A = this chain, B = another copy of it.
């Protein structure tokens, strides 16, 4: 107790080294047990005997390890006691903060990356099937580019610190950067896709797949075209993506902003209140009508009778027959916007039916979508309730609304619409480029698929290694490098242990754990004859192959 601070620090160092050394020794001995291979089939005798001997040794080692664990626990206690002497002050400089990713963000481990890459590849395939070209834009923009585009959600934008020079903000979606790109480069038509991360200082609900940094996956068609041809193709794309990802039954809800405005006008909503009432309607997918009505009346100052009229319309959904019915509706007939919207819907439904989408779509007057800038068709792909789906899915969609759904049964996984005036906001002369697009809610899709995989207990392969090059005994590392070089130069995916003399058992365990299909086992006896053993990892069958013929034989095996 009378030790000086320096003496204690020195003791901590010595004791820490001891503990680290013990742990290192333990780790280097830890191996996962290999399932007994006593069936033995075509394993050569020498390799079979070696495996048996090594398994024996492994048992002894496991006992030793247990004894060692006690020893480590003891020594750790001593270390902690020493540290306690110093109060909370003994931690090294590198430990002053919690090791974590920023709030609302996550790392993607190899397993997640494999799943994610599979999803994105399939989506890109659909985008390319429709003639999509890729672009990319910077992760941040001049703050002015984002200003005034997101309404009250602007508070969620990440700003960069003013370090001298331009004032920058992180992109909030991929749509505003697209509009800036088109205006800046005077591009009047493009079919582009863009897959990238966007940033929102939202309150993350990460257990439900809702993050502050998340992927968006957008396809947009810009250009001055005839009505609904591009719009219908976007709906087709949503259907193709959801079909190819096979994440369950879905419906694509359709509506039209012009019809919504016309309907509001017909019900007696003042024009300057359209957007506010529209964003109240947008909440219908997560709140009952009573709550939405209350918001309209109490917060947005609508009189009750007007709200009730809206309430009658927004509970309607259907197909072409509903459009007919509404075109005959006395109130709507009198409002040009409503008629135009309905005629647009009529055309859209016809084109969708030519695309074979009749069973997949629903004209739904309650669909409003959050953002202000839509000017025409809007749509949303929604997963139907599935008992197996994880609860509390999310919306994380085109141009905005990463809003949590309360219902816990269905999830919006794609959305978009027409926005004809956004590009014009950037053009010095206000020249408009009409656009229609769709955003796939890939984070939500990742969550659904991750849950599926976790439930199925299937382990995704995270590497593509085709052949593992193993040594049967010591002193073969140079031979391994020669064989590896031969395989790599032939384009074969191959790896080995970076130890000079790894145990055969450990090497074969590595193959099983990592689902590597083939292993080459090098041994002096075989090498003297210019041959190696080629082992199929799952069946454990081995056969001799001429070294010179190895790449061809491996390719033959892999094609099987």
Contact = CB atoms under 8 A, between A and B. Distances in A.
A542 B199 CA distance: 51
Q: How large is the interface on A (under 10, 10 to 19, 20 to 34, 35 or more residues)?
A: 35 or more
A144 B96 contact: yes
Contacts of A199: 139
Interface stretch (A36-44, A108-116, A295-303): A108-116
Nearest to A101: B138
Interface in A108-151: 108-110, 113-114, 117, 128-142, 144-145
A428 B95 contact: yes
B110 A135 contact: yes
A94 B133 contact: no
Contact of A158 (B94, B160, B351, B462): B160
A147 B478 CA distance: 41
A105 B136 CA distance: 11
A152 interface: no
A186 B232 CA distance: 50
A135 B158 contact: no
Given A113-B135, A134-B114, A99 B162 contact: no
Contacts of A335: none
A375 B133 CA distance: 44
A415 to B, nearest CB: 21
Nearest to A464: B128
A236 interface: yes
A429 B20 contact: yes
Contact of A188 (B27, B201, B221): B27
B488 A131 contact: no
Contact of A485 (B138, B159, B355): B355
B134 A113 contact: yes
Contacts of A184: 99-101, 107
Contact of A240 (B424, B429, B488): B488
A206 interface: no
A439 to B, nearest CB: 19
Interface stretch (A252-260, A275-283, A489-497): A489-497
A136 B160 contact: no
Given A158-B160, A166-B102, A94 B425 contact: yes
Contact of A493 (B128, B181, B188): B128
Contact of A426 (B99, B229, B429): B99
B108 A140 contact: no
A103 B165 contact: yes
B213 A138 contact: yes
Number of copies: 2
A356 interface: yes
A391 B61 CA distance: 62
A192 B110 contact: yes
A110 to B, nearest CB: 4
A330 interface: no
* Residue of A132, A162, A180 most packed against chain B (CB within 10 A): A132
B129 A197 contact: no
A190 to B, nearest CB: 8
Contacts of A107: 135-138, 181, 184-185
Nearest to A158: B160
A512 to B, nearest CB: 15
B20 A431 contact: yes
Contact of A97 (B106, B144, B201, B492): B144
A560 interface: no
A351 to B, nearest CB: 6
Contacts of A464: 128, 131
A159 to B, nearest CB: 4
A77 interface: no
A46 interface: no
A430 B92 CA distance: 8
A457 interface: no
B94 A223 contact: no
Contacts of A136: 107-108, 113
A463 interface: yes
A32 interface: no
Interface string A26-53: 0110000000000000000000000000
Contacts of A232: 481
A369 interface: no
Contacts of A229: 477, 481, 498-500
A226 interface: yes
A482 interface: yes
Given A92-B430, A163-B159, A426-B94, A495 B131 contact: yes
| A-B pairs with lowest CB-CB distance, top 9 | A225-B498, A110-B133, A105-B138, A131-B495, A108-B136, A159-B161, A113-B134, A229-B498, A354-B481
5 contacts: A27-B188, A107-B136, A163-B201, A221-B498, A226-B477
Given A102-B168, A106-B138, A161-B162, 8 more contacts: A27-B188, A92-B430, A97-B145, A102-B166, A105-B138, A133-B463, A134-B462, A191-B495
